[in-house]
Structure 1
Amino acid sequence: MRRAIRLSTFVCLFSFCYTLAFTQTGTITGSVKNSETGEAINAASVIVAGSVSGTYTNTAGSFSIRVSSLPVKLIVSSVGFATQELTVNSYDPVTVSLVLGTALGQEVVVSASRTAERLIESPVTIERVSAAAIKNTPAASYYDIISKLKGVDVVNASLTFTSPTTRGFGGSGNTRFNQQVDGIDNQAPALNFSVGSVVGLSELDVESMELLPGASSALYGSGGMNGTLLVNSKNPFNYTGLSFQAKTGVMNLDNKWRSASPYYNLSLRWAQKVSEKFAYKITSEYIHAKDWLARDYRNYGRVGTNGAIKDGTRETDPNYDGVNVYGDETTINLRSLVLNAIGSQVPFWQSYINQLPGNIPVSRTGYTEDELADPNTINYKLAGALHYKITPRVEAILMGQFGTGNTIYTGSDRYSLKDLKIAQYKFELRSDNWFARAYTTQENAGESHNLTATARQFNELWKPSTQWYQEYGFAYLNAKMAGMNDLDAHNQARTVADVGRPEAGSAEFQRMWDSVRLKPIYKNGGLFLDKSDLYVAEGQYNFSSLLNHVVDVLVGGNWRQFVLNSEKTLFHEVNGPIKINELGAYMQVGKEIIKDRLKLTASGRYDKNEYFKGKFTPRITAVIQPAKDHNIRLSYQTAYRFPSTQQQWIDLTVGSGTLIGGNRVIWESYDLINNPGYSAPEFIANPANRIPVTYKEIKPESVASYELGYKALIQNKVLLDAYVYTGQYENFIGRRDVVQFYDQSDPTKYRGISVVVNSDVKVKTFGWGMSIDWRLPSNFAVNGNISSDEIKDVPDNFRASFNSPKYRALLGLSNSGFGPKDLFGFNVSWRWQDKIDFEGDFASGRINPTHIVDAALMYRLPAIKSQLKLGANNLLNQYYINAIGNPSIGGLYYLAFTYNLQ
């Protein structure tokens, strides 16, 4: 019944918007040409200023666009030409002549205020990546271009798993950073990572990317704490024909852990404009490579789900726990649990045992990641869309995209995502002043499994820990009493206990490994059975034209439902799948107070999650233009996020501890209400010093941010951008590791649990950034940026996971055309970032500074509308990591051929 009411409300709202839309008429027609040659310009963008209404020219350079009233201002742009603005006062055909030259700062963006405006006039900091920039980037994946933008941090869990963030709090699954592809929320509903690099657009179909650093919830909802990335695809009415791209290369060079291996990336796009009313497109992409290897074998000291790097190796520490070694998380106190029992069985050994230390920690022998995980990364994407113009002003879009493959992900553990499948489907109606869409994300974990859980249960299947430690204990005592020193005795004992241990890669090993990884976690295996879904309906209407742009008014709203279904392998599902409903609405009002000098905009959004109180997030911005092409921006922005689906409902044993969500029923199931955990490991041995962590209802997290920015275009050659910001987080959501004792009188009987909590104090962040883009003669260009982010007032024993370097910088040099007929081009960049004290659920530790050089050489083949590119990511092959426990990333060298560049 509730769903029927929601659906009826949505249909009524849409019908109202649709009726309003058809009360407005008028079509502007015209053509766009090259001012020097008079040739028609294909795929030139024509946008109505102050709205999302726009179109592209056809192969003859002609366009037509529906408008509600006159006069209107049109913004016309094309790659390689200076953007032109013109005011249209009648419906007579117009001719626009574009001048060759820079488009610095003139690119049209939509994301900053959900209406079209020039980049230089944006009221908040924004970065834009065009299709032209993607064509000329050295990056093998367009997703990696984001790492070159100022203030951006990127975490690579594997070759095809890139997670960006801005202004701190980076990680493989970043719930403080929104990503949308053609309006679709790109976050997996259960696994909480962005699926953009798994099921998103292929490079051939990306029209542009827009990045909003910082708070953006006022327009984009929960999760926009630290930024929003919008990826836009190419419309088949405007970009037609066959395009394909083939990349082949080599990676894992000079790597003693993994031999050199090929890299393949094939993609195709076919778009056809069947008539003035109907167009369609089909895209696909296939990636195959041997992935980077996670090979951090440093010793890790765990307490619950927390820990730190410590000295020692398997040969020097009996309790060794390698970061990227799995199965060695199983550990016991050999003295209390084994040796004392042996002493009671063999009385004449008891006096000797009594002389040994009271705590002798020993871990089981583990396996490295290259012994357990499938090294072959495979990613296959298939997508299609049907576009139908119901009227010249109303376009219907039905699209679907599907992705599957194998990769590795870092969350609370390392996960082998095997045969992962994600599908997204959308139906949308769009006009110049409104849109209405409904979409769903369908998640299927396939044979994905937790490497740590699988390895630990594998050891139990091969030889139960009760037997393994018993054999270890007898061998250890025999070696000690034979005169061996303690370390040699431990190594001798391990050799004895490991007799018969299956060798990685053997037929016996594979048979046993498969039997465990294909068994659900709650049945002592490692398999996820996740089949969670997300359903969304949303709409927006721009009333500005109805008000003759005296004031600009925008309203919108959405409904979301998460359906969590992991069959108890990830979530605390007592009575079947868990449903979470959210409702939201927003409004924006803008007014140009002083013409071409001052514009003010105010936005507000209200959201309600059924498990939490509603949140209101306002935003106020001002753009001041003291002189032409010089803009000062001021903003007060707020953002929030409801706890993620995992932070609400996760119930998962990892490493040597358990992750649980903040819902009270989960705390009750672990008896944490009556028998609370204690917050610090130093309290374990002394009951008098134990401080309990009692249950408190988790609250939504919010941030209030102030920003001052300046953007200037100097002589159409130099674009400067700078900002400084400060943010204050309230009810900051993080994890706290607690120790729960089974027996309050016995400090050896406890378990580690990681609980979700709010910070009692306000956490503060602050930072700044600046960039320059300088166009030089002969098609040369120089670009550079530097930025900084910091955090303070983080409570003790609270894991904030800020994970941002204090400083990062980039310097680049490029040329878009040199040599005979300007057919050659190149792009080279150097990136540097400072050290990071990385905190994660999987592992924490220091990451050293990195220096990365990327380069590419391009050659255009205009006769066949093609390009050759010779590229190198990490040209100097300096292996580095950007998160503890993640793979070491080396050089990737490739040759790409692209046909029909658009």
Structure 2
Amino acid sequence: MKQLVSIIAFLCTTFLFSQTKVTGKVVDLNNDPIPANVTVEGGSTGVVADFDGNFTLITQQTPPFNIVVTSIGFSSKTFEITANNQNILVQLEEEHTQLDEIVLSASRTPERVFESPVSVERMGIKQIKNTASVSFYDGLENFKGVDLNTNSLTFKSVNTRGFATFANTRFVQLIDGMDNASPALNFVLGNLLGMNELDVASVELLPGASSALYGANAFNGILFMRSKSPFDDQGISAYVKGGVTSQKAAGTNEYYDMGIRLAKAFNNKIAVKANFSYLSGTDWYANSEMDLDMPGADRSNPAYNGLNVYGDEVSTTLNFDELAGLPTGTLGADVVSRTGYNETDLMNYNAESMKADVAVHYRPFADDLEIIGVYKIGSGNTIYQGSNRYALNNFLMEQYKLEIKNDNFFVRGYMTTEDAGDSYDSRFAAININRSWKGDTQWFTDYAEAYIAGRLGVGTGVLLDYQAAHDMARQSADAGRLLPGTDAFKGAFNQVINDPDLATGAKFQDKTKLHHVDANYNFTHLTKKFAEIQIGGSFRQYKLNSMGTIFTDYDGAITYKEYGAYTQIQKKLLEDRLKVTASGRFDKSELFDGFFSPRLSLGYTLGKEGNHNLRASVQTGFRNPTTQDLYIGLNAGSAILVGSAPDNLDRYTTTNTLSFSGQGITGQTEATVSGRDVYENAFSYRSVVEGMPVAANVDLVKPEQVTALELGYRGKIKSIMVDVSGYYNKYQDFISTETVLVPLYGVVGDNTYSLLALQNGDYQAFQGYTNSAVDINSYGVNAGIETKLFKDYDFDINYTYSEFDFDESEDPDFRPSFNTPKHKVKASIGNENLFKNVGFKVSWRWSDAYFWQASFADGDVPAFHVVDAQINYGIDFLNSSFKLGATNIGGNEYYQAIGTGRIGSMYYLSWTIKP
């Protein structure tokens, strides 16, 4: 028995003393602590270092053995343990991947992309340098889930998750916290008032609703661009980029872009910077002559209405039998349109962009408290396609900002002003050039008389057939017409585009202003042990001043205000593996009831090495009607656009001249209708077309809402980075427009005079802003992978699926304008160091065919694919890099919207000098 006890005691002692204890600390190269995983190599024993990087590992293995230390974002390290109670210091080197990049936008606080509670795309200095696109802004089109629709060479519209137009009021773009949108138009004009690429520190994009933190218009997505600090990035840098654009319609034209950045910190308290850039080129010509009303017809069609031909929208029905006093059915009746002018005869295709900014940064106590004053200006020539095609010439936007901030808070106020300069509407330019030469009534009279004479052989004895008579009638009515290139045409053109009265001119006037103040305080330094908490708020005032050319501000500027407040709480649980984020924001416009938009998101990190992250979020978002939805009063030619703010309904009135005859009396009278009639006395356009007129049921516009659900996964599987997300959006009160016909006399429903007005053509077409009653859903998937091929080649590929649905029978007049392909694939391959100081990148994009629906025109956009490429060479002793690049290699011209110019190729060489 004594022997047995001795054996048991010996075995227990051996077992106890066979345990090995290892202690240590894990830090990065800056000696900052890292919460890392510490495991025994080849075994399952392991511990997690605490927040300060300290760990204690106890194992039954006896030395010598190895331990492996890993952490997301760092290269793993293996240590040999040679003795019990060994204490070690582990330094891990950063392993740079896209998942480890730090983003600020998703939660208004720094966090790794890996742990972001929602989908986020990021472009840093490295990606900007290596993009295969001609500029960093163009490079956004390589993000997964992103549509970058080309309006013109200098105006590209960013959108995510569908429902895009060039007037993309569902997407927000911020530069250093300032809304970059035009105050009057309520959407971003690409990078017109954007950033010099030398000053870009990072670009982040959040697809989908972000109202819980960023307010009303962050509905479909939000883009953040942040500039470099003059304290951190000093010196003089510059670039010059030259090349050509090539398009079948426009030919080969010179293109150049240049910029400079100057930054200086005079001491640790004050620093300044200045940026300037200038771009010039020839825009993509839009020259489609497709007949919108009769596809396949040519210009011999009496009612021809060409896509990029303007002025032919003016049309009427000529009853030749009635005009000639002949029995019905002898010559019949036809719709006849005036002869239009091609866009290429009316548009300024000289694309220009000038951007400049100056900033002063002051740190009064030489710490993190900073006061920043900024002035930005952007001007240029571009083309905007809305209800018509607009030449934005010498368009000017300015911003003034004062901001106070430190690591825990910011307060900023800024003002945005704009001046439309010499901008004009190309459609009305054509219409009024025609009218300045010959009025509509006289032209149609001349046409009718010539047609009747031709068909009856009057004066010639030769009876012309239908088409020959129409050709002769147009030739007769157009005799002496102003022809492009002549002095008479140039004189009429210049007179029209400088006249802001759309009855006689086409000038586009605007001097609208926006004032905005927002603030945020992050209490995390006080509440860190409990949770990360922040609060914030904003105030915004619009001052609409188009002098009656866009809005109904005939008697002075129109002002209205919006304000909001939000809070967010973020907490990590379960050994920091579970991250819970709850946000909520309340917004109020003086024109509408307030709206509360909450967001709840969960992120869970799993796997032994913490290489996998699952995320889920649900949030609601909303979008206030835009300035145009509320206060526009614009005759767009085919219809009059009228905003539906309650105080706008009686602002807009239009007077039409009626001709009458009967009982030996012939004469004219005038009839006046207002914006109120759109909502209270109008016929549904669809019902009239279908031959069964009924009253339109158009309600005043109110904010639209969305409930968005997103699920996603990010992770590292061996050497492959994976990011997959799926979303489902459910919309309510979707803002839309409805076309109605207002009778010039009678009351809709009286079944007498109002129907007679329709029969006689005595009505006015209006487009009113309202909400669809139908439920609309959209859903999709974004998936992307990144990896290294052959050790040195960066490769990534992503796929996007987008779809929507709604019950058309519930709202047959609703035009969804989803405007995005169902399938998109994008891929790139590159190597920063192919040889010493030599790198390259090739990007490829493919887009499925889709249907484009917008106020300008509808139609199918064919599938297309594009290849961009660049090769770069660095010369160290010159602090220079050279890039030779080309976009749309192969020249397969394509377009992304009906009515725009086809996109050709660009070839360029750039030289960049940095300190």
Q: Mark yes or no: TM-score above 0.5.
A: yes
Counterparts of 1:239 and 1:864 in 2: how far apart (Å)?
18
1:369-408 mapped onto 2 (5 Å cutoff): 369-391=343-365, 392-408=367-383
Q: Which amino acid aligns with 2:713?
A: Y
Matched, 1:469 2:444: yes
Counterparts of 1:886 and 1:456, CA distance in 2? 20
* Equivalent position to 1:799, from 788, 812, 815: 815
Q: CA deviation at 1:485?
A: 1.8
**Offset of 1:47 from its aligned partner?**
13
**3-state SS of paired residue (2:527):** coil
The answer for the alignment partner of 1:550 in structure 2 is 530
Cα 1:671–1:487 change in 2 (3 A) is farther
Distance 2:488 2:581 in 1: 67
CA displacement, residues 631-654 of structure 1 (integer Å, 9 cap, x when unaligned)? 000000211110011111111111
Which residue is equivalent to 2:619?
A: 637
Indicate the SS of the match to 2:119. Answer: coil
Q: Is 2:662 aligned against 1:677?
A: no
Does structure 2 retain, via aligned residues, the 8 Å contact 1:818–1:825?
Answer: yes
- For the 8 Å contact 2:238–2:914, the answer to whether it is kept is yes
Q: 2:563–2:587: 8 Å Cα contact kept in structure 1?
A: yes
Match of 1:376, as an amino acid?
A: N
1:331 to 315, 321, 325: 315
| Alignment correspondent of 1:438 | 413
Distance change in 2, residues 1:217/1:100 (3 Å):
closer
Match of 1:304 in 2: none
Q: 2:738 aligns with which of 719, 736, 756?
A: 736
Match of 2:242 among 235, 239, 248: 248
Mean Cα displacement is larger for which, 504-513 or 844-853?
Answer: 504-513
Specify the alignment match of 1:712 in structure 2.
715
Partner of 1:232: 226
Q: 1:224 to 1:378 in 2, by over 3 A?
A: same
Aligned mates of 1:285, 1:808 — CA distance in 2? 33
| 2:776 match | 763
Deviates more, 1:173-182 or 1:694-703: 694-703
Q: Is 1:649 aligned to 2:631, yes or no? A: yes
SS state at 1:461 partner: helix
Q: Which amino acid aligns with 1:730?
A: Q
AA partner of residue 780 (structure 2): G
> Is residue 265 of structure 1 aligned with residue 247 of structure 2?
no
- Structure 1 262/484 Cα, relative in aligned 2: closer, same or farther at 3 Å? same
Contact 2:687 2:694 survives alignment (8 Å): no
Among 297, 312, 326, the alignment partner of 1:312 is 297
Once residues 579 and 182 of structure 1 are traced to their aligned partners in structure 2, the CA distance between those partners, rounded to angstroms, is 26
1:671/1:706 CA distance change after superposition, 3 Å: closer
- 1:810 and 2:826 matched: yes
> 2:305 aligned with 1:321, yes or no?
yes
Q: Match of 1:77? A: none
Where relative contact order (Cα < 8 A, 6+ residues apart) is larger, the structure is 1
435-444 or 770-779, larger mean C-alpha shift: 770-779
Please give the alpha-carbon distance, in whole angstroms, between the structure 2 residues aligned to 1:675 and 1:217.
33
Q: Is the 8 A contact 1:736 1:754 kept in 2?
A: yes
Are positions 1:690 and 2:703 aligned together? Answer: no
Rounded Cα–Cα distance in structure 2 between residues aligned with 1:294 and 1:47: 59
Secondary structure, aligned partner of 1:541: strand
Q: Is the 8 A contact 1:297 1:325 kept in 2?
A: yes
* Partner secondary structure for residue 127 of structure 2: helix
Which is further off, 642-651 or 795-804? 795-804
SS in 1 for 2:392: strand
Identify which of 395, 414, 432 aligns with 1:457. Answer: 432
Task: Evaluate the alpha carbon distance shift between residue 779 and residue 509 of structure 1 in structure 2; reply closer, same or farther with a 3 A threshold.
Answer: same
Q: Is the 8 A contact 1:673 1:694 kept in 2?
A: no
- From 771, 782, 798, the equivalent of 1:785 is 798
Q: In the alignment, which residue of structure 2 is the partner of 1:25? A: none
The whole-number CA distance in structure 2 between the counterparts of 1:179 and 1:48 is 34
Deviations 1:246-292 (A, max 9, x none): 11111124x1x222101010111111111111111110111110111
Residue 763 (structure 2) aligned to one of 726, 729, 750: 750
Deviations 1:318-361 (A, max 9, x none): 111111111111111122xxx46743xxxxxx226752334x11
SS state of the match for residue 690, structure 1? coil
- Aligned equivalent of 2:291: 299
Distance 1:48 1:681 in 2: 65
- CA-to-aligned-CA distance 1:856-885 (integer Å, 9 cap, x gap): 111111222211111111111111111111
What per-residue deviation string (whole Å, max 9, x for no partner) do you get for residues 473-496 of structure 1?
Answer: 111112212322212211111111
Equivalence for 1:88: none
Aligned to 1:693, what secondary structure does the other structure show?
coil
- C-alpha deviations, 1:502-544, integer Å up to 9, x for none? 2212222111101011101345211122000000011000011
CA contact (8 A) 2:29 2:93 kept: no
Residues 679 and 699 in structure 2, CA contact (< 8 A), matched pair in contact too:
no
- 2:496 equivalent in structure 1: 516
2:268 aligned partner, one-letter code? E
Distance 1:608 1:712, change over 3 A: same
Q: Which amino acid aligns with 2:515?
A: Y
Q: How does 1:92-491 map to 2 (within 5 A)?
A: 99=93, 101-253=95-247, 255=248, 257-301=249-293, 310-315=295-300, 317-335=301-319, 339=320, 342-343=323-324, 350-351=325-326, 355-358=330-333, 360-391=334-365, 392-482=367-457, 483-491=463-471
Distance 2:689 2:802 in 1: 36
* Rg larger in structure: 2
Aligned residue pairs total 800
How far did 1:178 drift?
Answer: 1.0
Distance 2:52 2:399 in 1: 36
Give the structure 2 partner of residue 878 of structure 1.
Answer: 892
* TM-score (ref. length: structure 2): 0.84
Instruction: Give SS of 2:356's match.
Output: strand
Q: Check whether the contact 2:700–2:769 (CA below 8 A) recurs between aligned residues.
A: no
Aligned residues of 1:728 and 1:762 also touching (Cα < 8 A): yes
Secondary structure class of the residue paired with 2:450: helix
Q: Secondary structure of the residue that 1:390 maps to in structure 2?
A: coil
Instruction: Tell me, in whole angstroms, the C-alpha distance in 2 between the residues paired with 1:684 and 1:806.
Output: 31
- Partners in 2 of 1:553 and 1:296 — Cα distance? 56
Q: Matches of 1:144 and 1:323 in 2, distance apart?
A: 27
**Shift in Å, 1:661:** 1.2
How far the C-alpha of 1:726 sits from its partner, in A, is: 0.5
* 2:909 aligned partner: 895
1:774 to 782, 787, 804: 787
Aligned AA (2:466): D
* Unaligned 5+ runs, structure 1: 1-30, 36-45, 50-69, 74-80, 86-94, 302-308, 344-349
Name the CA shift for 1:786/1:745 in 2 (closer, same or farther; >3 Å).
same
Identity of aligned residues (%): 37
Q: Post-superposition shift, 1:779? A: 2.3
Larger displacement relative to structure 2 (660-669 or 788-797): 660-669
* Paired amino acid for 1:545: H
* Conserved 8 A contact 2:34-2:51: no
- 2:292 is paired with a residue whose SS is strand
- How far did 1:595 drift? 2.0
1:768 and 1:787 in contact (8 A); partners too: yes
From 497, 516, 524, the equivalent of 2:477 is: 497
Distance 1:312 1:774 in 2: 52
SS at match of 2:344: helix
Give the whole-Å Cα distance in 2 for the aligned partners of 1:352 and 1:691.
Answer: 32
Q: 1:371 corresponds to which letter in structure 2?
A: D
Q: 1:866 aligns with which of 874, 880, 884?
A: 880
User: C-alpha displacement at 1:676, in angstroms?
Assistant: 2.4
Correspondence for 1:27: none
Task: Give 2:429's aligned amino acid.
Answer: T
Q: Distance in 1 between matches of 2:110 and 2:390?
A: 41
